[in-house]
Amino acid sequence: MRLTKTNLMAGLQCPKHLHLMIRHKEHASKTKTPASITGEVVEEHAEREFSDGITVKRFGGDDPFEQTQHLLDDSSVETIFQAAFTANDVEVFVDVLQRVGDQWDLIEIKAATSVKDHFIDDVSIQAKTAEQAGLAINRIKLMHVNNQFVYQGDHDYDGLFIQEDITDKVKARWSVVPKNVEDFKQVLAGPEPEVHITGHCKQPYLCEFRQYCETVDTKYPVGLLPRGHRIVPTLLANGITDIRDIPFDMLNSDNHIRVRNVTIEGKAELLPEAGEILKQLDYPRYYLDFESIQFAIPIWEGTQPYQQLPFQWSCHIENENGDLEHEEFLDVSGNDPRQDFAEALVKTCKEDGPIIVYNQAFEKMVIRSLAEEFSDLSSQLLALNERIFDLLPIVQTYYYHPDMRGSWSIKKVLPCLAPDLKYSDLGDVQDGTQAQQSYLDIIRDMRSTDGKEKLTQDLLSYCKLDTLAMVEISKSLVKQSMTED
Ligand code: SF4
Rounded Cα gap, residues 137 and 52, in angstroms: 20
Q: Is the pLDDT of residue 34 over 80?
A: no
- The pLDDT > 90 percentage for the chain reads 87
At residue 353 the predicted structure's pLDDT band, cuts being 50, 70 and 90, is very high
Distance 58 CA to ligand 1 centre (A): 30
Confidence (pLDDT) at 66: 96
Distance 116 CA to ligand 1 centre (A): 21
Average pLDDT over residues 468-483: 94
Confidence (pLDDT) at 33: 55
Distance 361 CA to ligand 1 centre (A): 29
Of the candidates 429, 422, 31, 22, the one whose C-alpha atom is nearest the C-alpha of residue 210 is 31
Q: Which residues pair with 390 in a beta bridge?
A: 357
CB 86 within 8 A of CB 129: yes
- Which residue, by CA, sits nearest to atom 4 of ligand 1? 213
Write the DSSP symbol of residue 409.
-
Phi and psi at residue 8, to the nearest 5°: -70, -40
Average pLDDT over residues 66-84: 97
Q: Which residue has the higher pLDDT, 244 or 62?
A: 244
Rounded Cα gap, residues 113 and 148, in angstroms: 9
Q: How many CB atoms lie within 10 A of CB 304?
A: 17
Distance 207 CA to ligand 1 centre (A): 6
Lowest mean pLDDT among 193-202, 254-263, 324-333: 193-202
At residue 44 the predicted structure's pLDDT band, cuts being 50, 70 and 90, is confident
> Which atom number of ligand 1 is nearest to the Cα of residue 19?
5
At residue 40 the predicted structure's pLDDT band, cuts being 50, 70 and 90, is low
Residue range 295-314, pLDDT digits in tens = 999 999 999 999 999 999 99
Q: What region does 29 belong to: left with phi over 0, alpha with psi -120 to 50, or beta?
A: beta
> Which atom number of ligand 1 is nearest to the Cα of residue 17?
5
Confidence (pLDDT) at 175: 96
Best residue for ligand 1 mutational test, from 7, 21, 27, 197 (most atoms within 8 Å of Cβ): 197
Q: Is the pLDDT of residue 68 over 80?
A: yes
pTM of this prediction?
0.90
Average pLDDT over residues 322-348: 97
CB 80 within 8 A of CB 68: yes
Beta pairing class for 79-87 and 53-55: parallel
Residues belonging to the chain: 485
Distance 26 CA to ligand 1 centre (A): 14
Residue range 148-188, pLDDT digits in tens = 999 999 999 999 999 999 999 999 999 999 999 999 999 99
Lowest mean pLDDT among 195-199, 296-300, 318-322, 420-424: 195-199
At residue 47 the predicted structure's pLDDT band, cuts being 50, 70 and 90, is confident
Nearest-10 Cα torsion for 347, 351, 353, 354: 80
Of the candidates 141, 131, 68, 61, the one whose C-alpha atom is nearest the C-alpha of residue 105 is 141
Average pLDDT over residues 7-25: 96
Confidence (pLDDT) at 338: 98
Mean pLDDT of the chain: 94
Best residue for ligand 1 mutational test, from 192, 209, 218 (most atoms within 8 Å of Cβ): 209
Best residue for ligand 1 mutational test, from 12, 13, 24, 222 (most atoms within 8 Å of Cβ): 13
Residue range 256-308, pLDDT digits in tens = 999 999 999 999 999 999 999 999 999 999 999 999 999 999 999 999 999 99
Residue range 363-404, pLDDT digits in tens = 999 999 999 999 999 999 999 999 999 999 999 999 999 999
Q: Give the domains, in start order, of the chain with CATH numbers.
A: 3-184 (3.90.320), 218-252 (no CATH), 274-484 (3.30.420)
Q: Which helix (H) or strand (E) holds 458?
A: helix 449-484
> Which atom number of ligand 1 is nearest to the Cα of residue 214?
1
- Which residue, by CA, sits nearest to atom 7 of ligand 1? 201
Q: Is the pLDDT of residue 133 over 70?
A: yes
Q: Is the pLDDT of residue 82 over 80?
A: yes
- Which residue, by CA, sits nearest to atom 1 of ligand 1? 210
Rounded Cα gap, residues 292 and 172, in angstroms: 40
Q: Which residue has the higher pLDDT, 218 or 191?
A: 191
Beta strands in 56-89 (DSSP E): 79-87
Rounded Cα gap, residues 188 and 289, in angstroms: 45
Distance 200 CA to ligand 1 centre (A): 8
**Pocket residues: Cβ below 6 A from ligand 1:** 13-14, 16-17, 20, 195, 197, 200-201, 207, 209-210, 213
Residue range 408-465, pLDDT digits in tens = 999 999 999 999 999 999 999 999 999 999 999 999 888 889 999 999 999 999 999 9
At residue 43 the predicted structure's pLDDT band, cuts being 50, 70 and 90, is confident
Confidence (pLDDT) at 193: 96
- Which residue, by CA, sits nearest to atom 2 of ligand 1? 201
